[in-house]
């Protein structure tokens, strides 16, 4: 493998390489050597930018968690428009994309990585806790538009949606759920809390 390839944006090119390894071979195959070989660079490149491999993985998770925060802002902007069920169906499908599912498995399987992430997130898995907060904020905004029942407990509905979504998408090697399957989960969890038709128009 090449040892002197210059990377214009080393951190993000290494992150992208790690994602490709994760998607192709799963969390157990993710090593510093596998990442640098995938990126086409010397192993030392990773250690020039990160204290150790767990520090690299923690920054990878943080970077992808930032993307969830960006998506949360876009989700809040949809409040009061379109269909609550449709928006949440789309969000769950995006949250549990193949990379995110692999990252969740990675976090749960590496004690050292979880310890690094505890500084930012004392409980839970960062990607999932951010997604839960985003959905709760969206449901609260929809309640302000009169589209979620006043008595609905959004702090229960949001993690229930995330938990059900994770179960639906958790099999990394299986076929991805159909949109109709995801929608069925959203409708089932929200139940009578949503004030709109729950059948496709």
pTM of structure: 0.84
Q: What whole-number distance in Å separates Cα of residue 169 and Cα of residue 163?
A: 10
Please report whether residue 67 resides in a domain: yes
Query: Which region among 6-10, 127-131, 162-166, 167-171 has the lowest average model confidence (pLDDT)?
Result: 6-10
CB 40 within 8 A of CB 119: no
Q: What percent of the chain has pLDDT over 70?
A: 93
Q: Is 37 contained in some domain? A: no
Whether 33 maps to a domain, the answer reads no
Contact in structure between 46 and 35 (CB atoms under 8 Å): yes
User: Residue 118: inside a domain, yes or no?
Assistant: yes
> Which pLDDT belongs to residue 8?
59
Within-domain flag for 146: yes
For 153-176, the pLDDT digits (tens) are 999 999 999 999 999 998 877 788
Q: Is residue 187 part of a domain?
A: yes
Token pair 């969000």 in the structure block, residue: 91
* Per-residue pLDDT tens over the stretch 63-108: 988 888 888 888 888 999 999 999 999 999 988 988 889 999 899 8
- The CATH number assigned to the domain holding 86 equals 1.10.357
Residues 21/30, Cβ–Cβ less than 8 Å: yes
Give the other-Cβ count within 10 Å of 196's Cβ. 13
Residue 197, pLDDT score: 58
- Structure-block tokens of residue 104: 């969740």
Residue 28 lies in a domain: no
- At residue 194, φ and ψ (nearest 5 deg) are -95, 135
pLDDT at 2: 43
Distance, CA of 99 to CA of 192 (rounded, Å)? 33
Domain assignment of residue 103, yes or no: yes
**Domain housing 60:** 50-193
Name the residue with tokens 């609260």: 140
Q: How many domains, the chain?
A: 1
């Amino acid at each position: 493998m090449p040892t002197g390839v210059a990377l214009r944006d080393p951190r993000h090119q290494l992150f992208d390489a790690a994602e490709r390894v994760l998607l192709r071979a799963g969390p157990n195959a993710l090593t510093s050597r596998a990442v640098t070989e995938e990126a086409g660079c010397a192993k030392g490149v990773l250690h020039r930018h990160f204290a150790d491999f767990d520090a690299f993985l923690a920054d990878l998770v943080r970077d992808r968690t930032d993307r969830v925060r960006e998506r949360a802002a876009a989700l809040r902007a949809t409040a009061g428009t379109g269909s609550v069920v449709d928006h949440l169906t789309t969000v769950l499908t995006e949250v549990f994309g193949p990379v995110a599912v692999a990252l969740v498995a990675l976090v749960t399987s590496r004690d050292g990585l979880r310890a690094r992430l505890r500084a930012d997130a004392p409980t839970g898995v960062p990607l999932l806790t951010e997604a839960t907060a985003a959905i709760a904020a969206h449901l609260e905004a929809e309640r302000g538009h009169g589209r979620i029942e006043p008595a609905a407990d959004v702090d229960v509905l949001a993690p229930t949606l995330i938990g059900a979504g994770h179960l639906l998408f958790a099999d990394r090697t299986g076929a991805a759920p159909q949109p109709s399957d995801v929608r069925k989960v959203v409708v089932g969890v929200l139940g009578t809390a949503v004030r709109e038709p729950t059948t496709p128009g």
